[in-house]
Copies of this chain bind each other. A is one copy, B any other.
Amino acid sequence: MHPPPFQGNLAQSAIRRLNALRQLSDQAIALLQQAIQQRIRRVGAGEDLACEGDSIDSVRILLSGWLCRYKTLEDGRRQIVNFVLPGDTCDAHVYLLSSMDHAIGTLTPAVYAEIPRGNFEELLAGDRSLAEAFWCETIVNIAMQREWTVNIGRRTALERVAHMLCEVFVRLQTVGLIEDNTCTFPVTQMDMADATGLSVVHVNRTLQELRNSGLIKLRDRVLTIVDAEALTITALFSPDYLYTKRPG
């Protein structure tokens, strides 16, 4: 299934993502497209794009595949703090800091554009709407991270897992990766556990509950939201914090 289809424009998801945050001018789109096509890289599943402590001097934009940001405690406990989906920027502006505070790993084989820091700054200087869109993305990342904090801190296991699915669903919709309420969901239950602060066993049982209640289907890395409204309600989900106008 992965590697991803190569027909169509590789930069499409990034354009959609940024455009959902800030209306992009034609010029912005052209500049972006050009910058992305400069250097395309591929990486396999289960690799690290960056580790805690790494220094950063380029900006990466994910074009296809899934990544996750995570941190690890000394004794091995791991927390996935967010997913990086196609169109997302890995670390815009993080170069303002000296090094990575977290790691970024691949959940699937992935394709991304790598833009050296200098080129990225030129890009931002070249178009205001583009610069603002990237900043919006950064700010939305804080909002997302806050919601994850709430999710893990105050929601029950069932609500948590449901909420994670709702968020991913809305985000994938923005970049056009949902069809018939269905998408690929290449996340092992182990990963879901690390993302929700639960144990694998309990994630398994929670997913069964969601399936048995007729809210979702999930099998072989394919997720279908069967009853979006009910899922939203059980998750106590509201998409406001994602600040994205939905397409269509």
Contact = CB atoms under 8 A, between A and B. Distances in A.
A79 B236 contact: no
A17 interface: no
Contact of A93 (B135, B145, B147): B135
Contacts of A54: none
Contacts of A78: 154
Interface in A139-165: 139-143, 145-150, 152-155
A63 interface: no
A7 B78 CA distance: 47
Nearest to A99: B240
Contacts of A149: 79, 81, 145, 148-149, 152
Interface in A51-70: 53, 69
A25 interface: no
Give the most central of A77, A101, A155: most B CB within 10 Å. Answer: A101
Given A101-B240, A145-B146, A240-B101, A155 B73 contact: yes
Interface of A: 53, 69, 71, 73-75, 77-79, 81-82, 93-94, 96-99, 101-102, 132, 135-136, 138-143, 145-150, 152-155, 196-197, 236, 240-241, 243
25 contacts: A53-B240, A73-B236, A74-B236, A77-B154, A77-B155, A79-B150, A81-B146, A81-B149, A93-B135, A94-B139, A96-B132, A96-B139, A97-B143, A97-B243, A99-B240, A101-B143, A101-B240, A102-B143, A102-B146, A138-B139, A138-B142, A145-B148, A148-B149, A149-B152, A152-B152
